[in-house]
């Protein structure tokens, strides 16, 4: 170790007052440091992104869709992008606690929260038009507290899973007294009557914290009609598979279907002739009932009359969902007088390849399109859906080596903003530090308008949260309150929201007809890691000018867009061979600013105001990365290092620069061991959890050097996780460059 580096490490080790008294010992004995997010230093924080937000959310008016249709603008016409989270801070005790949570989020770069709950009543004997006032108060409080910190709110007031879990009560008088609410909202009049009552209460009752109804409050940006429900998912199959005589819901939807067929064909007999005589289970034309096939049949290749009948059923399902979305948007805007943008849904289908475009089309009845998209390895355990516990089996997974799984690889519908309503790198996967880096980089490249990380309750879970409850353990599965997720927000949010990364030109424009959708024609490109249109290569639209599958790595080259009212012969694909080099395992954005080597697992970002690298440095031939104005050298096996201008000047002349570091974090005492196990017939090399450990987090040290082609930098401050300066770090000058040996405990370093 050279003298300069020794002095830097010594200063930091002696000055780490905001971390933990155990940091020095932990760093020496385990090459890691203990994470204490509540530690402070002298004076005001040097890292606080609250200034990026408006003084109060909505001060310039309601959020609107931009003129080009792909983004958002404030009321004054200024473009705005949303770096968001799903927040449950509305259920904290007292307004001050919720407002403290809002302050925390604003400091880390958040300007959108999503409320996720259900307004359906839960009181025994309630009427369906009653409302859950506890949840309503949570919404009111969340909106008011976030508004004061310049944070907008998306409200999602209905989740069929929660309604099913709490049970549909007999006093609601839903036909057949079903136990599940899945899919019913799209067609059942009783459920829709209740839904309208819940929306009326939500949007027209005055918010006691602000004095105005939410429908008139521009701090509420988006209303999501419902969460994670679709007639094109497996839950609808559950309804169709139950015999009609025992199933009021099936009879109800089959009668509606029959009326739709009569309108289309003139009679049910004419429809049967059009289907070449193919009957479906439950057909009872004499009583106005048209039977249906379970959704599984849409995953199969069918021909003749069967294919025609399945196309009609798909068209009917899609039209039913579209009409519900259209009707509720009109009710909210025209009847209730609310001015928020409408997002109809965010779910998936039984066959992502053949049906996701159909699902996405049903959302075009609203203003904003969305999807839920998570990334993770395998996780197998008794309570794996919600908890991480000893004995669980898992694998670590990185999108850097599986780029088709990057959750912002999105097919964007022309003329509509696209957001991710829920997303994160799910624990116990240890490669979480890449998440904010990749989300900020690729959403900026492709123009995705927002990303909501799921989820956070009250700032950090640790160090004071109880550890004997899996919901509150630091390694809680659905929490982003980790050093490697929300801890990596500031630099990512800064470059995302300030447009430091250039938008690419469209890599793919696919034009599809609605007829092709109903007939389940194979798209030329689709989302998801399992996309393989070669299974149906002959099922691409015959009039398409693209006769083969498009490499899904195109999502990493530039925007991928689709329209559903176009001519397939007018589809367009750029020359991808200029950017995708499968022989080397690399993809370069068409802007030249993002370079991914998925064979090694390394991504570099190279823009005038933001530069960095993330991934498996140990796999690179040379651990030294030369970017436009920055050179990064790192000895860690895996890390994320971002260098971002804080004063909106290019890094070469900036006077204030943030260096942000992410490595790997595990709770103290976490232990796992290698384990081979079988999953769906495949032998997997993974790990078994021995103990989940306790607070606080133990973060892997960084061993890296950053050199900037900027001679004006004369000092550096090491910051606590809360953004306060805790130590001065020396810098070295040579010619026109400045070199900083990063202290091993670096999370944030501000150069000045």
Q: For the segment 91-126, what is each residue's pLDDT rounded down to a tens digit?
A: 999 999 999 999 999 999 999 999 999 999 999 999
Q: Is the pLDDT of residue 22 over 60?
A: no
* Whole-angstrom distance, CA of residue 481 vs CA of residue 487: 8
Summarize pLDDT for 246-301 with one digit per residue, the tens.
Answer: 899 999 999 999 999 999 999 999 999 999 999 999 999 999 999 999 999 999 99
Percent helix, strand, coil in the chain, to 5, is 30, 25, 45
* Whole-angstrom distance, CA of residue 25 vs CA of residue 132: 51
What's the confidence (pLDDT) of residue 598? 98
Mean pLDDT of 630-650: 98
Cα 270 → chain centroid: 46
Q: Among positive and negative, which fits the CA dihedral 454, 458, 459, 465?
A: negative
**How sure is the predictor about 470, in pLDDT bands with cuts at 50, 70 and 90?**
low
The two beta strands, 79-80 and 369-372, are unpaired
Please name the CATH architecture into which domain 50-235+317-497 falls: Alpha-Beta Barrel (3.20)
- Phi, psi (deg, nearest 5) at residue 662: -130, 140
What's the confidence (pLDDT) of residue 244? 79
Q: Is the pLDDT of residue 432 over 80?
A: yes
What's the confidence (pLDDT) of residue 258? 98
Provide the β-strand partners of residue 418: 369
What's the confidence (pLDDT) of residue 272? 98
What does DSSP assign to residue 585? T
| Peptide bond between residue 455 and the one before it cis (omega within 30 degrees of 0) | yes
Place of tokens 């064979």: 599
Encode 209-221 in three state secondary structure.
CCCCEHHHCCCEE
What's the confidence (pLDDT) of residue 165? 87
**How sure is the predictor about 2, in pLDDT bands with cuts at 50, 70 and 90?**
very low
Provide the β-strand partners of residue 717: 728, 750
> Per this entry, what is the length of the chain?
752
Q: In the chain, what are the domain boundaries? A: 50-235+317-497, 236-316
What does DSSP assign to residue 334? I
Q: Is 480 helix (H, G, I), strand (E, B) or coil?
A: coil
Do 147 and 210 meet the contact criterion of CB atoms below 8 Å apart? yes
């Amino acid at each position: 170790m050279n003298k300069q580096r020794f002095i830097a490490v010594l200063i930091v080790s002696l000055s780490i007052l905001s971390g933990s008294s155990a940091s020095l010992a932990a760093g020496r004995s385990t090459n890691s440091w203990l994470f204490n997010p509540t530690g402070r230093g002298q004076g005001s924080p040097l890292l606080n992104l609250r200034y990026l937000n408006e003084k109060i959310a909505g001060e310039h008016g309601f959020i609107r869709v931009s003129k080009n249709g792909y983004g958002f603008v404030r009321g004054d016409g200024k473009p705005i992008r949303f770096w968001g989270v799903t927040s449950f801070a509305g259920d904290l005790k007292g307004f001050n606690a919720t407002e403290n949570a809002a302050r925390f989020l604003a400091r880390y770069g958040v300007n959108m929260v999503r409320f996720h709950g259900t307004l359906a009543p839960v009181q025994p004997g309630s009427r369906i038009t009653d409302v859950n006032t506890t949840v309503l108060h949570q919404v009111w409080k969340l909106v008011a507290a976030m508004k004061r910190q310049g944070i907008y709110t998306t409200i999602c007031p209905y989740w069929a899973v929660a309604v099913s879990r709490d049970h549909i009560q007999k006093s609601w008088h839903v036909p057949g007294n079903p136990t599940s609410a899945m899919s019913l909202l799209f067609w059942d009049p009783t459920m829709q009557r209740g839904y309208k009552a819940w929306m009326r209460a939500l949007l027209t009752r005055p918010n006691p914290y602000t004095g105005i109804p939410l429908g008139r409050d521009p701090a509420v940006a988006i209303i999501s009609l419902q969460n994670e429900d679709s007639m094109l998912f497996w839950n609808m199959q559950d309804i169709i598979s139950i015999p009609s005589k025992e199933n009021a819901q099936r009879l109800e939807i089959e009668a509606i279907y029959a009326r739709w067929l009569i309108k289309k064909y003139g009679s049910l007999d004419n429809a049967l002739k059009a289907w070449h005589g193919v009957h479906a289970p439950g057909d009872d034309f004499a009583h106005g009932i048209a039977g249906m096939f379970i959704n599984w049949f849409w995953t199969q290749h069918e021909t003749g009359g069967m294919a025609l009948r399945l196309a009609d059923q798909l068209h009917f399902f899609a039209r039913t969902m579209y009409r519900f979305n259209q009707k509720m948007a009109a009710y909210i805007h025209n009847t209730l007088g609310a001015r928020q943008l409408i997002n109809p849904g965010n779910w998936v289908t039984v066959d992502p390849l053949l049906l996701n475009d159909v699902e996405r089309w049903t959302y075009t009845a609203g203003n904003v399109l969305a999807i839920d998209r998570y990334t993770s390895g395998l996780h197998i355990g008794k309570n794996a859906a919600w908890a991480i516990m000893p004995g669980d089996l898992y694998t670590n997974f990185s999108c850097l080596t599986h780029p088709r799984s990057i959750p912002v690889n999105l097919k964007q519908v022309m003329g509509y903003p696209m957001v991710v309503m829920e997303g994160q790198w799910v624990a116990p996967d240890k490669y979480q530090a890449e998440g904010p880096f990749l989300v900020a980089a690729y959403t900026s490249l492709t123009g995705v308008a927002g990303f909501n990380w799921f989820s956070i309750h009250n700032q950090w879970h640790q160090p004071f949260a109880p550890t004997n409850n899996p919901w509150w353990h630091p390694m809680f599965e659905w929490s982003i309150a980790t050093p490697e997720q929300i801890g990596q927000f500031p630099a990512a949010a800064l470059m995302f929201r300030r447009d430091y990364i250039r938008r690419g030109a469209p890599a793919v424009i696919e034009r599809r007809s609605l007829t092709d959708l109903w007939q389940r024609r194979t798209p030329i490109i689709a989302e998801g890691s399992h996309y393989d249109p070669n299974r149906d290569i002959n099922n691409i639209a015959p009039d398409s000018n693209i006769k083969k599958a498009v490499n899904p790595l195109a999502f990493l080259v530039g925007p991928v867009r689709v329209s559903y009212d176009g001519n397939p012969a007018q589809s367009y694909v750029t020359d991808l061979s200029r950017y995708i080099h499968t022989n080397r395992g690399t993809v370069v954005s068409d802007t030249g600013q993002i370079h991914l080597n998925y064979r090694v697992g390394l991504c570099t970002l190279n823009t005038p105001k933001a530069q960095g690298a993330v991934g498996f440095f140990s796999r690179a031939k040379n651990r030294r990365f030369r970017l436009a104005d920055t050179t990064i050298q790192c000895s860690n096996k895996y890390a994320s290092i971002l260098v971002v201008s804080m004063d909106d000047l290019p890094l070469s002349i900036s006077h204030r620069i943030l260096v942000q570091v992410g490595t790997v974090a595990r709770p103290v005492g976490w232990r796992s061991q290698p384990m081979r196990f079988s999953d769906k017939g495949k032998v997997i090399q993974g790990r078994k959890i021995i103990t989940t450990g306790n607070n606080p987090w133990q973060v892997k040290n960084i061993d890296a050097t950053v050199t900037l082609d900027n001679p004006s930098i004369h000092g550096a401050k090491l910051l606590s996780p809360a953004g306060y300066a805790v130590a001065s770090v020396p810098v070295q000058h040579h010619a026109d460059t400045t070199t900083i040996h990063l202290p091993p405990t670096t999370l944030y370093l501000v150069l000045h």
